[in-house]
Structure formats: structure tokens, C-alpha cells
Amino acid sequence: MLLQGDAIVLAGATGRVGGATLATLVAEGARVLVLSRSAERARRTIADILDDAERAAALPFAADLTDPAQAAAAVDACVERFGRVDALVSLAGEGFGFRPLVDSSVDDLRKNVAAFTEVAYNLAVPALRAMSRSRIARARVRAGGSSSSRPAPRRTRRPGAACSGSRRPA
């Protein structure tokens, strides 16, 4: 299994694409925080999509992800339940629906992009912070303790750091 034991935050789990994504993540061995604005919808999605043996791998959680504090609380819940965050899948947002392109306006486009981007941003920031914290904690364990007098672990690329276009591969 590709994702054995990974802890994944899934936003938009109750949507059209989210259900199939949840099924695939769990089938590949991941543990998944299933997000919705409604705890009941998150629970129903888990019950509908996953079989009995798989359900223990999913945790329902209610959050309006346009609110940065609620998004951060969702990431905290993932860390509390699964011990860490390995990945974030962000499929949540209120778009303008499936209006034909010829009937849409640039305002529709702006609202759609803003909605999905804002949710992804609100989750990505706390998720990256949680990933950084666990990398530092793991590095300290490997170094044999948590004393700040020990040499700092050698840093590799930070999680989420973009590859700079100016850096050419060796």
C-alpha cells in the first residue's frame, strides 16, 4: 500500500470528488481526517463510502474552512488523533457550480478561484507548521535528546518549500 500509516487531512470529503478520494486514500492505507462544515455529513460520508473494517481509519471533523481558526483546529485534531500530518488534500470551496462557461462572468471565476484558494491556504499554513514541528521533534530524537545545547540537525528542504526556478539540478 502506497500510504500505509500516513495521516492525511481531506477537505471537501463530502463532495463529488471527495468521496472517491476518501475511498482511495483509505484503501492505500492512510488514516484520514474527514472534513465538512457539518459533523453529521462527515459521519455519513464515512458510513457510505468506507466498509466496516476501514472506518476506524477515518475521523469526522466539522470546520468552516473559510475561518483560519477552524482550519487550524482541524489540523490540530489530525495531530491529536493520528500523531502527525503527512499530507493535505484540499478539494473544498463554494464555487459557482456547473454553469456553462458561456453563461459565466469573470466575477464567477474570481469567486470560484478565491473560495478554493482561501480554504487551501487556511489549511496549508497550519499543516506545514505541524509538519515542521514533527520533523524537528524526529531530528531531536535521532540526535539523542531534546537539549537546545546540542548541535542543530542539518536542514534539508522544508516541507512545502517551493523549488526555485533559478536552481538548476546538479
Query: Where does this chain bind ligand NAP (CB under 6 A)?
Result: 11-18, 35-38, 41, 64-66, 91-94, 116
Q: Give the residue with the Cβ less far from ligand NAP, 60 or 130.
A: 60
Contact assessment for residue 61 and residue 42, using Cβ atoms and an 8 Å cutoff: yes
For residue 2, the surrounding DSSP H or E stretch is: none
Q: Give the residue with the Cβ less far from ligand NAP, 24 or 156.
A: 24
Q: Give the residue with the Cβ less far from ligand NAP, 79 or 91.
A: 91
Least gap, CB of 24 to ligand NAP (angstroms): 14
Residue 167: phi, psi to the nearest 5?
-90, 120
Least gap, CB of 26 to ligand NAP (angstroms): 16
Least gap, CB of 13 to ligand NAP (angstroms): 6
Q: Give the residue with the Cβ less far from ligand NAP, 14 or 77.
A: 14
Least gap, CB of 115 to ligand NAP (angstroms): 7
CA-nearest of 114, 59, 69, 60 to 92 is 114
Q: Give the residue with the Cβ less far from ligand NAP, 109 or 152.
A: 109
Least gap, CB of 139 to ligand NAP (angstroms): 33
**Cα 22–chain centre separation:** 12
- Give Cβ neighbours of residue 65 (< 8 Å, ≥ 6 apart): 11, 35, 37, 71, 74, 92, 119, 122, 123
Classified as helix, coil or strand, 32 is strand
Decide: residue 70, CB within 10 A, 0-12 exposed, 13-18 middle, 19+ buried: middle
